[in-house]
Amino acid sequence: MPQVTYDGQSFLIDGRRIWLVSGSIHYPRVPRDLWRDRIRAAKQAGLNCIDTYVFWNLHERSPGKFDFTGEKDLRHFIELIHAEGLYCILRPGPYICSEWDNGGLPAWLARLETVKEGPVRLRQGDQRFLEACARYLGAVMDQVRDHQATAKGGGPIVLMQAENEWFCHNPDQAKAYLRELVRYLRENGAQVPIFECNNLWQRIDGALCAWNGHQNLAGDLRQFRQIQPNAPRLVSEYWPGWFDAWGRPATQIADPAVNELRLAQMLASGAQFNLYMFHGGTNFGFWGGRSVESPACYVTTSYDYGAALAEGGTRGPQYAAVKRICTFASHFAHVFANLDPDHHTPCIATDGDEEHPLSVVSQTGTQGTVVFLFRSPQDKTQAVCCLLPHGQTIEVPLGEELVSWFVVDVNLAGAAQLSYTTLRPWAFVGRKLLVVFGPAGAQGVVSINDAPLRVNVPKGKTPEVHAHEGVTIAVLSTEQVDAAYLTGDGRLIIGASALDAQDKPVALRGWASQTAVDADGNTQRLRATP
């Protein structure tokens, strides 16, 4: 049977290192007929993992009567994730927050009050509450037990979360309640690692710690390494936006460039992340909850959350920014999963919203080195000279982006060695097709097996394609990479708004036709159906 383990660098499946690039999609907030479409949109954005809560009060409306059918078919949702070749992080609670009615706790729990013991004490070691939790977690595990990565044949679930944001320090209740939840999961067949996201307020025996947040990530994650050196760093909730509530102005959506920078910050800190939300969806019926922010803070029907994939499934600038960095992280996962977790050089601190000089953060490991260049919105530097470890100077074009990156001495799946590139690597497909991108009109260098190739970043709609050292190199502009998708048969499609269920390009406004590039460098003109 397969095993999912971890060390200070990454998670491992039977000793093979994996790197999670995850996003949250909640099945109750999306109609069942659209589940696969939303999961495919995540995959096309470069994600390799889907995270979801399990909503207790949705599944057990009456004590002991569980419903996992139709729009509540958790098992089917996980099967669709598996069918797309993605991992899954499952977060069964029992409390989930998520701006959901009562944080997912069933209303009937209040009826457990007795004259002798008084009101039931929720999220504590109250035996009445624990018995209900045990029954619920057992029912959830019955649905998902054989969909764990440890099951025969291997399923998508690689992690499970116990409770959610238990933000208090109470060692007695941690033992009486939180530790019991871990025990219930284990006794009901949970074989993958279990984590908690209490931001170190209260640690749980038998569970690794994760982090939630959206600012000061670089500093927080470096400190996190010192506190938990024997487990990988995981940001279980990175918030690219926020929810809306009735009676207050709509939430200001974060600048896509800032979100891209913060995702890069987490990678540069050696951390895996989960976008909360990748696709927020809709609070159907009366499932929207009330926030603790104020007594009258009721969550709106829309749970758009400023997510990469908007409530109606549309893809805009947020999606494009997420796709740039997440595709890179997934396709170069072997580099990130094998970084030295203790290699943190001093650097200029930046969070993307302060005026500061250009900052360089370098991480290295057994599979190569990755370098991130961060700058503030006030900095207008268009290119910077970087000194490589062996003494060579390269000029890296920055364009208008707040973050750029390049790699050094990276093994391309045994096919070649990517010595360095001054342009941003984006994907490596079929052990032959390397895709890089940069500002339109810039010049760059891609060095394979220590043989440099000078390239020009195209200004129009057509990519530049080269054959070099047995590798096909596709050079794209930022505009082109935002309109680029990778098909299941290893082709690069440029000029599309998405890929449909048959991996055919969907037309994009402003692009009269699409260009397809295969691993051998052959190009073909396509015309998508409007």
What is the tens place of the pLDDT at every residue in 75-127? 999 999 999 999 999 999 999 999 999 999 999 999 998 888 999 999 999 99
pLDDT of 1:
82
165 a catalytic residue: yes
311 a catalytic residue: no
Residues of the chain with pLDDT under 70: 352-355
pLDDT of 178:
96
Catalytic-labelled residue, pool 165, 260, 401, 469: 165
- Burial (CB count <10 Å: 0-12, 13-18, 19+), residue 134: middle
Catalytic-labelled residue, pool 99, 237, 401, 479: 237
pTM listed for this prediction: 0.97
One-letter amino acid identity for 67?
A: D
pLDDT of 353:
56
470: left (phi over 0), alpha (psi -120 to 50) or beta: left
Alpha helix (H) ranges present in 107-211?
127-144, 171-173, 179-187
The per-residue pLDDT for range 254-276, each reduced to its tens digit, is: 799 999 999 999 999 999 999 99
pLDDT of 297:
86
- The secondary structure of 114-143, three-state, reads ECCCECCCCCCCCHHHHHHHHHHHHHHHHH
**For 17, how many CA atoms within 13 A lie in the half-sphere containing its CB?**
18
3-state DSSP assignment of residue 146? helix
